[in-house]
Structure 1
């Protein structure tokens, strides 16, 4: 996925935030950040690793890594009786896992690492063009990304209109 992570994160965060009476902006912000956070490993990929390892193989693209962090944060919130933070943990985890679900659509994600090499890649995008980006933009899967973006725009505009009238 190239352009749909942020819009998909918005849609997921908006869905969770619509069930809460307060903290909507914060939940949306956390959802947006979490939906693109796994790609922070692109800094390592380009600046340190010199593109030697596919960035989806790094720990930031391991779902079990994020699940364990969310579980730890949830446990700490339980021990310290900070229940207010749990919706944020939930939105973050949803955004993170959604990122990897979307990546699994046209790239390999190792869902059980470090315990297994099992990976999921729903659609193989053939390498037909010299510049690798064209392979994805001109593949039918890009239409799915455009649909996610269009849906996010529609939901945002609808929410904005609702908040203007209330």
Structure 2
């Protein structure tokens, strides 16, 4: 911690405590970590039955619950990181990378006060430069894919769809299909 001045350390501690308070307020406002997330859908929505609801309503509720759970998990993780940073301040090890033991620059600490890593050793950067494993099994797109693909394939695109379909008529104006001429005297 020797590379941080007392005023820098005080500013960082205030930022950590402020952010911790905001996260704790989130949990307080939303009912202690959204305790109803683990309950049944019927309990969390307050509905007596889901029979009268449209299936999309249940899908929306499921999505909302999973989103809320994801937010809570991320905030819990961040709260644990903030607590760990405050503990490192107490121990006198705050501002030192836990992997390389190098000083973490003040600018990085100012941007992410709860970080315990120098940029080079950050877990989020561990896969930098590597391509996703999925790309090893992906097949290349067909020739001509991209701009102008539909023109080369002989198919029509949305812009030309009506022009091709109107030859067959519409509900308001019946049209004889191409190639089927009706002769006036064919009875």
**Could you say which structure has the greater relative contact order, defined with CA pairs below 8 angstroms and 6 or more residues apart?**
1
Q: Which has the higher helix share?
A: 1
Asked whether the two chains share a fold, i.e. TM above 0.5, the reply is no
TM-score, normalised by the number of residues in structure 1: 0.35
State the TM-score, normalizing by the size of structure 2. Answer: 0.33
